[in-house]
Amino acid sequence: MTTCHRLSKARACRVVGLSRTALYRPKVNWLERDKGVIDAINATLAKRPRWGFWKIFDRMRLDGHPFNHKRVHRVYCEMKLNMKRRTKKRVITRPRQPLDCPKEINETWSLDFMRDTLYDGRPFRTLNVIDEGNREGLRIEVGTSISATRVVRVMNELIEFYGKPEAIRLDNGPELTSEFFTDWAKEHGIELRFIQPGKPNQNAFIERFNKSFRDEVLDAHLFNTLSEAQEAAESWLEDYNEHRPHESLGRLPPAIFKPRVCKPETSTSRL
C-alpha cells in the first residue's frame, strides 16, 4: 500500500488513523494462546454438559487452573456455550372479573380464539363470539390468521346485525390488547372486560361453548380446506342456537330460552 502511493509507513498510519505500534505488533494466534482454557472447559463439559459458566470456572480453579474469570468467560462466550438466561415473563395485572350472568341480551358478549389443523397439517384459527345473556353463538370466524383488523371487521358486522353490546369479556391475546382493537371499543363506547391471565374460569361461558364446538365439530371431522371448516362451523352454530338443549338454560336452546325481538333474516356468516 505504501509502495503504490509512495507514502512512508508513518505517514500512511497517520492518514488511516492507525497507531504505528499496532502496525508493528505481531499477530496473536488466539486459538493457540487459549488452548489451555479451551481444553479445561471441554474437559469439564465432557463430564457435566449442563453446567453453566460459574460452575465450570469454580471447578477449574479447584483443579488448579490459574486462568482468571474474565479470560475464561471470553473463551466461554467465543465457544458459544453461554446459555440463555431464563427471565420471568411479565404478567399483565388485571382486576378480577366476576362471572355474573347478564339478565338481558346484548349486555355482555364473550369472545375467544381456538386453534386446530387441516388434514394436511396446515393450522387454522377460529374466532368464537357468544352473547352471555342467552348463550347464543353469534359468530364462528375461520381463518389461517385472524388479526386485530379482522376482529374489528367481524365485530362491526355483528353490531350491524345484532346491535351493540355494553361490554365484551375477553382474554389478553395480542389481537385483543392491540391499540387498534381497544381504540375501536373506546370509539363505540364498549367496555372491555379483560380477564386475569391464567384464569379462564373468569370467561367460563365462552370456554364451555368452545368445549362443545371442539367435541362436536373440530374433533369429529377432518377438513381439507378452510371453506369446509367454515361451512361445518356455520351448520353447527345454527343447530346449537335453534335446536341443541342447554342444561343451564332449563334444557332449552338459546333461541327459545330468550329470543331476540327483531332479528334480521339475512345471515352474517363470512368465509
**Residues 70-117: pLDDT tens digits?**
999 999 998 888 877 776 666 667 777 777 888 889 999 999 999 999
CATH 3.40.50.10320 is the classification of domain 108-257: no
Q: Which of 160, 159, 128 is nearest to 241 (CA)?
A: 128
Kindly state the cell numbers that stand for 93: 395485572
- Per the CB < 8 A criterion, the answer to whether 191 and 97 are in contact is no
Q: What is the pLDDT of residues 21-32, one digit of tens each?
A: 777 777 778 778
Could you say which DSSP state residue 246 is in? B
Section 39-65 average pLDDT: 91
Q: What is the pLDDT of residues 165-183, one digit of tens each?
A: 999 999 999 999 999 999 9
Confidence of residue 5 (pLDDT cuts 50, 70, 90): low
**Of 75, 73, 14, residue with least CA distance to 39:** 75
3-state secondary structure of 30: helix
What pTM value is reported for the model? 0.64
DSSP 134: T
43-48: which pairs have CB atoms within 8 A and are 24 or more residues apart? 45/81
Rounded distance between C-alpha atoms, residue 114 and residue 92, angstroms: 21
Q: What is the pLDDT, as a whole number, of residue 89?
A: 67
Local structure of 193: helix, strand or coil: strand
Please give the sequence-ordered ranges of beta strands (E in DSSP) within the chain, or none if there are none: 108-117, 123-131, 136-143, 167-170, 191-194
The backbone torsions φ and ψ at residue 96, rounded to the nearest 5 degrees and listed phi first, read -70, 135
How many C-beta atoms lie closer than 10 Å to residue 74's C-beta?
A: 13
Say how far apart CA 198 and CA 171 lie, in whole Å: 9
β-strand partners of 116: 124
CA distance 96 to 103: 20
